[in-house]
Amino acid sequence: MNSCLLALAGNQNCGKTTLFNQLTGSNQHVGNFPGVTVEKKEGALLRHPEASLVDLPGIYSLSPYTAEEVVTRDFLLQEHPDAIINIIDATNIERNLYLSLQLMTLRIPMVLALNMMDEVRASGNSIDISGLSRALGVPVVPISASKNEGVAELARTAVRVAKEKQLPEKMDFCSGEVHKAIHAISHLIEDQAAKAGYPTRFAATKLVEGDQPTMEALHITENQRHIVSHVVEDMEQALGTDREAALADMRYQFIEQVCRDCVVKHQESREQIRSEKIDRVLTHRVWGIPIFLGIMLVIFWLTFSVLGGPLQEWTEMGIGAFSHWVSGLMESASVSPALRSLVIDGVFAGVGSVLSFLPLIVLLFFFLSLLEDSGYMARVAFVMDKPLRRLGLSGRSFVPMLIGFGCSVPAIMSTRTLSSERDRKMTILLTPFMSCSAKLPIYGMITAAFFPRSGGIVMMGIYLIGVAVAILSGLLLKNTVFQGKPVPFVMELPAYRIPSPKTVGLLMWEKAKDFIRKAFTVIFVATIVIWFLQSFSWGFTMVEDSSQSILASIGSVLAPLFVPLGFSDWRATSALITGITAKEAVVSTLSILTGAAGDAQLSAALAAMFTPASSFAFLVFTVLYMPCVAAFAASKRELGSWRAALFTAAYQTGAAYLTGLAVYQIARLFI
C-alpha cells in the first residue's frame, strides 16, 4: 500500500485545527485566536491509514515575514507533500482565496475545503461549487468542520488527488505590466528554478516581490539581480505603485471576477451580524478592558469560592482517606518506619497536597476555554493592542501572554509567531509574569490559610500585580534594553460562535492529564528528594527534627535575604528553591516540611510561619520570580544563548523581590 503525505494549509481562524481533529481523530487543542498552532502537527487520516496529514501553521501568504510563514513555506517546498488540503472560510471567501492562488503556483496537487458552508446556507447565500472548481482548476469540497459534514468526502478526494498526482490546472491570470514582469523573469531563471526544485512561476513571482530566500535558493547572480531590479522598476513606474501592491491588485482582480461568477451573497452571515452587535460593547474603546477584567473577576470568584472550594475539600478528603488506609496497611505489615515516612510523609503529603487542587485547575480552564472557543479572546488581543503599544509591543504579543496564563513553556514557544526579533525577545521576558496554572495550588494554599472569605479578590489582585509588573517592565525596557518601535498589528476577528462541547471537554481533559502527569513525575521525584533532604543530616543519618536536616541548612543560608519581605523561616525559602523545578513543588515542600496532613493542618502551620501581610508578599514573589526549569530551558532555546536566558531569569527574580518588598511594606499598614 503506497503511503501519501498531505499538508493542511489555510488562514488563521478558518477552522483548520478543528478540521485536522476531524480528519485524524487527534486530540489537538483548538483555539479561536491566532498563534495556537506554532509548529506543525501530524496524524494518520481516519479510514485512510496509508495517508498522513500534517497541520501547518495558519498563515495569510507565502511571504516569509513571520516564523509561521517560514515553517509552512519551507515544508511545502522542501518536504514535497503529495497534496495540499487548502481550507478556506466560505463566509470570507474573497480574502481566503488570496493564499489559495499562491499555493496553486507551487504545482502541488491540491483540493479546496470550503469550510463553514452551514453558515453560508443559513444566511441565504450560496456558492457555485462546480463553477468555483472550474474557475480555480482544483477540486472543491464543501464542508462544515465543526459539525463533521463533508469531511469524509474531503478525505477521499484528497487521497485520490494525491495518488493520481492531479495538479492544479495552469492559469495565467496576470495581465499587463505584471504579466510582462513575471514572464520576463521566468525566462531568465527557468533553468535555475528547475535545478532548485522551485516551480518557475512561483520563483518568478517571488523575485518580483524581492524575496531574498528565493534569490539565495536559486543562486541568483549579481547580473541577474540587476536585470530583475530593472524589470520591477519598469513595472512600478508603468503602474504607479510598488511591487507588493501590484501583485496584490493582480490577485484580487482575479478573485473578484471568480466571486462575481460563483458567489451569491445577499447579506452577511448571521454570525457576522451578531458579532458586530456584540463587539460594539465588548471591544468598546473605553469599556472593553473593564469588561474583560469584570469577566475574569467573575471567573475567579466561581473557581475559587463558589464551585472550587467544595470540590477541593471533597478531593482532599478522598486523598486523606486513601492515605490513612495505606498507612494502616503498611503499619499492619510491619513496614520500616523510614519507608513508611517516605510514602506517607513524603509522597502522600507532597503529591496528595498538589492533587487536591486538580478541581481548581479543571474549573478555571473550563471557563477560559469557553471564552477562547467563543472568539472572545481574539477581541481581548484587539482591545489590548493600544495599551501594549505604549509598552513598546503590539497586540500580537498579547497572544503569548494569554497562553502564559496556562503554561509559560508553550507561551514562550508561541513567540515564534512574532515577526519582530525585538518584540519576540521582550515578550519572552515579560510572559512569565503572567500567572501560569502551575501557580494555582500556591494561590489556593495561601488564600485558604489567610484570606478564606476573599479568595476571588485576592486572586484577581495577584493576577493584576503580575500584569502591572509586566507593564512597568515594558515601560522600562522599551527605553533601555529593547529600544525601537513595535511592528504593526493586523488580525482578523473571528465571528462569535457557541463553544463546542467537544473542544471544551478536550481542553479540560488535556489540562487535567498534564497536571496529573506532572504530579506523578516531576512532583513525585521532587517530593522524594525533599523528603530525603529534610530527613537526613549532612552525615546521612536520619534526623527527628527537620531543622537539623540538609534542607534546613540550605534554606537557612538564604532565609536572611527575605527578612525585608516579612518571612525568614527556612522552610519558606526551601520551598522557593524547590519551586524552580516546578511551581507546584512549593506546596508539596511546605506540606512535607510542616508535616501537615490536609489543608487544615497546613493552614495552621502556615499561620505560624507568616503574617497575612508577609504571606501576601510570599505569594507575590512566587508569582514573579524566575519560572520553572522547563520554561527557563524554553527561553534559552528561543533566545539562542545562555546569557540572554540568564538575564531574563535574573531580571524576573529581581523584579519579584522588589515587588514583594513593596507589597509587604504597604500590606502591613492595612492587614
Give the pLDDT band of residue 567 (cuts 50, 70, 90).
Answer: confident
Of 639, 505, 523, whose CA–CA distance to 585 is shortest?
Answer: 523
Predicted confidence (pLDDT) per residue in 163-179, tens digit: 999 998 877 677 778 88
In the beta sheet, which residues pair with residue 48?
45
CA distance 419 to 120: 33
| Nine cell digits for residue 627 | 519560572
Check residue 536 and report its DSSP letter: B
**Across 611-631, average pLDDT:** 87
The answer to whether the CB of 110 falls within 8 A of the CB of 168 is yes
504 to each of 28, 117, 631, how far by Cα in Å?
11, 23, 25
Mind giving me the DSSP string for 410-464?
HHHHGGGG-S-HHHHHHHHHHGGGS--GGGHHHHHHHHHHH-TT-HHHHHHHHHH
CATH 3.40.50.300 corresponds to the domain 4-164: yes
Return the pLDDT at 632. Answer: 82
Return the percentage of the chain with pLDDT > 70, whole number: 88
List the single range of 30-39, 193-202, 362-371, 413-422 with lowest mean pLDDT.
30-39
Cα 19 to chain centroid distance, Å, stands at: 19
Return the pLDDT at 571. Answer: 87
Return the pLDDT at 37. Answer: 40
Of 223, 258, 249, 220, whose CA–CA distance to 94 is shortest?
Answer: 258
Give the pLDDT band of residue 34 (cuts 50, 70, 90).
Answer: very low
CA distance 198 to 78: 9
Determine if the pTM surpasses 0.85.
Answer: no
Return the pLDDT at 599. Answer: 65
Cα 120 to chain centroid distance, Å, stands at: 30
Predicted confidence (pLDDT) per residue in 346-367, tens digit: 677 667 766 776 787 788 778 8
CA distance 49 to 2: 10
Evaluate if residue 483 carries a pLDDT over 80.
no
- The mean predicted confidence, pLDDT, of the chain is 81
**Across 252-262, average pLDDT:** 89
**What is the CATH code for 176-264?**
1.10.287.1770
The answer to whether the CB of 204 falls within 8 A of the CB of 185 is yes
CA distance 55 to 72: 9
Q: How many other CB atoms are there within 10 angstroms of residue 28's CB atom? A: 18
Return the pLDDT at 32. Answer: 36
Radius of gyration of the chain (CA): 29
Evaluate if residue 655 carries a pLDDT over 90.
yes
CA distance 649 to 639: 12
Predicted confidence (pLDDT) per residue in 399-429, tens digit: 677 767 766 766 776 676 666 677 788 888 8
Evaluate if residue 371 carries a pLDDT over 90.
no
Within 240-348, residue ranges assigned H as helices are 243-262, 270-282, 288-301, 308-332, 337-341
**Across 203-232, average pLDDT:** 89
Return the pLDDT at 27. Answer: 45
Predicted confidence (pLDDT) per residue in 300-354, tens digit: 778 767 787 788 778 878 877 888 888 888 888 888 777 877 777 667 766 776 6
Mind giving me the DSSP string for 573-627?
HHHHHHTTT-TTHHHHHHHHHHT--SHHHHHHHHHHH--HHHHHHHHHHHHHS--
Return the pLDDT at 31. Answer: 41
Q: Please give the single-letter amino acid code of residue 113.
A: A
CA distance 388 to 378: 15
Q: What are phi and psi of 453, to 5 degrees?
A: -95, -5
Start-to-end CA distance of the chain, whole Å, equals 72
Return the pLDDT at 489. Answer: 57
Evaluate if residue 38 carries a pLDDT over 50.
no
Q: For the chain, what are the domain ranges?
A: 4-164, 176-264
CA distance 502 to 583: 30
Of 76, 90, 66, whose CA–CA distance to 14 is shortest?
Answer: 90
Return the pLDDT at 36. Answer: 39
Give the pLDDT band of residue 395 (cuts 50, 70, 90).
Answer: low
Q: If you search the block for the grid coordinates 518571612, which residue do you land on?
A: 567
Predicted confidence (pLDDT) per residue in 92-118, tens digit: 888 899 899 989 989 999 999 999 898
Give the pLDDT band of residue 35 (cuts 50, 70, 90).
Answer: very low
Q: Please give the single-letter amino acid code of residue 161.
A: V
| Nine cell digits for residue 13 | 481562524
3-state helix, strand, coil in the chain (%, to 5): 70, 5, 25
- Say which residues have a Cβ less than 8 Å from residue 634's Cβ, sequence separation at least 6: 408, 409, 412, 413
Cα 110 to chain centroid distance, Å, stands at: 29
More confident residue, 653 or 283: 653
